[in-house]
Amino acid sequence: MRELLVRTNIWWVLFLRLLLAMFLFSLCRVGFYLYNRDYFADLTAGTFFEIMVGGVRFDLTAVLYTNLLVLVLMIVPLEIRFRAGYQAVVRWLFFVFNGIALAANVSDFIYFKFTGRRTTADIFQQFEHEQNMGGLLGRFLIDYWHATLWWIGLIVLMVWLYNKTRVQGPLMRNKWLFYISGLAAMLGVAYLTIGGIRGGFQHSTRPITLNDAGKYVRDPKDVPLVLNTPFALYRTLGKTKIKKVHYFADEAALDSVFSPVRHGADSGAMRKLNVVVLVLESFSKEFVGFFNHDRENGTYKGYTPFLDSLLQHSRSYTYSLASGRKSIDALPSVIASVPSMGVPYVLSPFSGNKINSLGTILRGEGYHNSFFHGAPNGSMGFQAFMNIAGIEHYYGMTEYGNDADFDGWWGIWDDKFLQFMAHTQRDFHEPFFSAFFSVSSHHPFNVPDDYKGRFAGGPEPILKCIQYTDESLRQYFHTVSKYPWFKNTLFVITADHTSSNIMFDDSRTARGLFSIPIFFYRPDNSLVGLEPGLVQQSDIMPTVLGYLGYPHDYIAFGRDVFHSTDEVAWNYKDDVYQLYQGDYLMQFDGRRALSLYNYKTDRMLQENIVKQYPDVVQAMEKKMRAIIQQYNNRMVDNKLIIN
């Protein structure tokens, strides 16, 4: 076997050994599938191949994390790297770190059967108080000896193939050339390693997360097959604020205070209206004149003349709230009624959970589903989330197909992309569901050359962009109003979050920082009026389904505001839960109420009345505990759908 030994330069050896780790991770994916093939029963050979290819991206990140110390030791430009003792240390580090990573992968061959997802960092909290971990591990090795043998086989293969390569060198005799070239190579490898760990180099692309696996599947249940367990562990370390709690002793007591189970309508056949949801980047409620007639002594006009005109013929609410402060918080809330609590849902260890959404539910009722976002495909992880949410058709910058309309920063200009959306929707079969997410109201707050000088703007630089996107919406509605499907459509318009460019003092309060427009429009004027009540982003899905008369039960953390009288909303800010109920806003740290305000009369939230109203505080604490327990425990137990 001596002739199979490869002696070559250190960079090629490093590449081959990382490639070896990647190969072993791919074998683990094959093993994961074989052990759980009943779960993936509908998987075809072609789809499995696509998943294997997609999984390489996640394997690369995990392999680079696992071998960071090995990488550092191999790329430092010192001659000691070539000594036998030094290479022996590197070899054992490679074996130990990758052996542990392979053990994590193989353990999920079995553990996945109990959890339905890849193991994440919350496992350390789950077992942190277990007194018999050694005994449990021994029992696992015995009961699942076949998986243990699989791991041993991988270790043997790793050692055998690793030992087929040897570092030769140093090959350069000139010391200056050796150090200069070594330093340059080290910097190049470091740059590539950072890109590999992040999952790309684009400024608009967030570091790859569990949620990104959704881009490589046709069925959301296949997401665990794309991932690998070390990746799931690395990416969720420090992001496990969501853990099971037991405020209520039994499920009946818990459900009597708050339950996310929403019951289907019993009013007969479902109305198959089209549904179009428009999510506007950074559209604070303070920008919309319709909601702010009392400002500036009644002279305030706002910056959204088209939305103001549309609101005259829409159902809206005096108090409407975002569920989070980031764009990535918005879509799960709006599309799936899954708000973020403690950590953005799509970045949490539970982003691969099965969920119901407007996509999955309406798709089951024969709807064509689509999502439009003018940014580069993959931006913000939206494409991956749409796959998980059951929305088959994604339209991004790639599908738009004309980079001449790129704004240079975030994506296609809103007016261009909204017209593209309108023309694309023209050919959709009815009924259909479409969602749109705008991009233009972002720093550096530019508008297209054709619109410069057209908008007066205001005291904040974003306001010209708000006026521009408002005009883009006017053009979109002008176009689609000529289509036959327009009259048969429910439109929902909201924002992802508030802007950081704040004009009024009350917009800086704990409520104002979440205050966004949310309203419902029907072209037949059947939904009209500014209601005095409360609505939040996660109410959109159940409200739409209630309006359509969807007949089946489902899970939603929001409520149907058209029919429910339990006026409640919540969000999470600076490690504090904020519960809105009736006239009151309570801030709760998970143990006790920190403050209570009458947010309807105390606009600036200056008078903390937590001690004056103990009965109100007690009732609201009970409600918040029930919400937290339902949310956390269902998230951890992967019970976000009704089986």
User: Looking at the DSSP assignment, which residues form a beta bridge with residue 22?
Assistant: none
DSSP assignment letter at 271: P
DSSP codes joined into one string, 534-589: EEEGGGHHHHHHHHHT--S-EE-SS--TTT----EEEEEETTEEEEEETTEEEEE-
Please state whether beta strands 165-167 and 432-437 pair in parallel, antiparallel, or not at all (unpaired): unpaired
CA-based end-to-end distance of the chain: 55
Cβ atoms within 10 Å, residue 309: 13
Rounded to whole angstroms, the Cα distance separating 378 from 386 reads: 11
User: Looking at the DSSP assignment, which residues form a beta bridge with residue 165?
Assistant: 6
- The H-or-E segment that residue 511 falls in is none
Q: Contact 372/383 with Cβ under 8 angstroms?
A: no
Name the token pair of 157: 């293969």
361 Cβ contact partners less than 8 Å away, ≥ 6 residues apart: 545, 550, 554
Rounded to whole angstroms, the Cα distance separating 54 from 47 reads: 10
Rounded to whole angstroms, the Cα distance separating 257 from 263 reads: 16
What is the predicted pLDDT for the residue at 179? 61
Rounded to whole angstroms, the Cα distance separating 342 from 345 reads: 9
What does pLDDT average to in each consecutive run of 10 residues of the chain (643 residues)? 60 89 96 88 88 92 90 80 87 95 92 75 57 64 86 95 82 59 69 71 66 77 88 79 88 96 87 97 96 94 97 97 88 95 80 91 96 90 88 95 92 97 96 97 89 92 96 98 97 94 88 95 96 96 97 96 93 86 93 92 93 96 97 93 88
Rounded to whole angstroms, the Cα distance separating 389 from 370 reads: 11
**Token match 């950081």: residue?**
500
Rounded to whole angstroms, the Cα distance separating 579 from 566 reads: 13
Q: Contact 356/299 with Cβ under 8 angstroms?
A: no
What is the predicted pLDDT for the residue at 315? 98
Helix ranges, 144-290 (H) = 145-162, 175-198, 223-226, 229-236, 251-257
User: Looking at the DSSP assignment, which residues form a beta bridge with residue 534?
Assistant: 319
Rounded to whole angstroms, the Cα distance separating 579 from 394 reads: 35
Cβ atoms within 10 Å, residue 142: 9
Burial 208-243 (b: 16+ CB within 10 A, else e): bbbbbbbbbbeebebbbbbbbbbbbbbbbeebbebe
CA-based diameter of the chain, in Å?
89
Q: Contact 109/35 with Cβ under 8 angstroms?
A: yes
What is the predicted pLDDT for the residue at 271? 94
DSSP codes joined into one string, 324-392: -SSHHHHHHHHHHS---SSS-GGGSTTTTS----HHHHHHHTT-EEEEEE-SPTTGGGHHHHHHHTT--
186 Cβ contact partners less than 8 Å away, ≥ 6 residues apart: 75, 76, 77
Q: Contact 455/304 with Cβ under 8 angstroms?
A: no
Query: Burial of 172 by CB count in 10 Å (0-12 exposed, 13-18 middle, 19+ buried)?
Result: middle
582: left (phi over 0), alpha (psi -120 to 50) or beta: left
Report the candidate in 402, 455, 426 with the shortest Cα–Cα distance to residue 287: 455
C-alpha distances out from residue 57 to 54, 90, 103, 307, 643, Å: 6, 25, 20, 42, 32
What is the predicted pLDDT for the residue at 177? 62
DSSP codes joined into one string, 466-509: HHHHHHHHHHHHHHHTTSGGGGGEEEEEEESS--S---SGGGGS
Q: Contact 307/517 with Cβ under 8 angstroms?
A: yes
Give SS3 for 529: strand
